[in-house]
Chains A and B, each alone.
Chain A
Amino acid sequence: AQSVTQLDSQVPVFEEAPVELRCNYSSSVSVYLFWYVQYPNQGLQLLLKYLSGSTLVESINGFEAEFNKSQTSFHLRKPSVHISDTAEYFCAVSLYGGSQGNLIFGKGTKLSVKP
């Protein structure tokens, strides 16, 4: 069975520090990979996705994630965080040929950026 593991439930960092949110997945078939962000009292928004091609993908607000097939990882990074990045981040996978794009989510990582 497929699964997604987010190794850290909470990550506190200071403003302008770098951050890495870790995500590992387990699957016997190829997958598509996503990071979603949930700001307080809102639904989830897509942050970035890996479908194919370059293993490094970037978002418009400075986050990036790298697909590492050998380590089955898709860690999310940002070189310098802002207070406004405080949110919960979810890693998700969708299976090649899976039905209707069902997503399997990790349990989430709460990023708390302190001044």
Chain B
Amino acid sequence: DVKVTQSSRYLVKRTGEKVFLECVQDMDHENMFWYRQDPGLGLRLIYFSYDVKMKEKGDIPEGYSVSREKKERFSLILESASTNQTSMYLCASSPPEGQLQPQHFGDGTRLSIL
């Protein structure tokens, strides 16, 4: 069974801090994704990566960056956290034929910026 693991379930940080959210998958998937989930807005794609060291902007990349140094790990970075980045963050992965295979999600990181 595919396992997508997000390093923290809950995280509290302060405004201006640099924040790292880590995601690891164990199925050798090429594609990895970061979403944020907010009530009434559904899931919005922040960044995705289809290979090591490759990244593409999603719908809301502002204020975020990502890193994919190894195939199994995809990190989301908040360069200077702000209160409007308080949200639930979800990581997902999928094999290369992504249209035909579902994305597998981690349990999420609930991030609070004070």
> Which A residues lie at the B interface, using CB under 8 A?
9, 32, 34, 36, 41-46, 49, 51, 90, 94-103, 105-108
Which positions 40-94 of chain B face chain A at CB distance < 8 Å? 40-45, 48, 50, 56, 58, 90, 92, 94
Closest A residue to B91 by CB, please name it.
A43
How far in angstroms is the closest Cβ of chain B from A71?
Answer: 21
Please give the distance in Å from A88's CB to the nearest CB on chain B. 9
Please name the residue on chain A nearest to B56 by beta carbon.
Answer: A99
Cβ of A14 to closest chain B Cβ, rounded Å: 25
Shortest distance between the CB of B38 and any CB in chain A (Å): 10
Q: In the complex, which residues of chain B have a beta carbon less than 8 angstroms from the beta carbon of A108?
A: 42
Known: A46-B103, A98-B99. 20 other contacts (CB 8 A): A32-B100, A36-B105, A41-B107, A43-B90, A43-B106, A43-B108, A44-B43, A44-B92, A46-B102, A94-B98, A100-B30, A101-B31, A101-B99, A101-B103, A102-B58, A103-B45, A105-B43, A105-B44, A106-B42, A107-B42
Complex: A44 Cα to B102 Cα, angstroms? 11
Q: Which residues of B contact A (CB under 8 A)?
A: 4, 30-31, 33, 40-45, 48, 50, 56, 58, 90, 92, 94, 96-103, 105-108
| Chain B contact residues, majority secondary structure | loop
Q: How far is A96 from B100 in the complex, measured between Cα atoms in Å?
A: 9
Residue of A nearest to B90 (CB): A43
In the assembled complex, which residues on chain B have CB atoms less than 8 Å from the CB atom of A49?
102
- Does the CB pair B41–A100 fall under 8 Å? no
Kindly list chain B residues whose C-beta atoms are within 8 Å of the C-beta of A45. 105
- Expressed in whole angstroms, the Cα–Cα distance for A42 and B58 within the complex equals 23
Evaluate contact between A101 and B94: CB separation under 8 angstroms. Answer: yes
Taking a contact as CB atoms under 8 Å apart, the answer to whether B90 and A90 are in contact is no
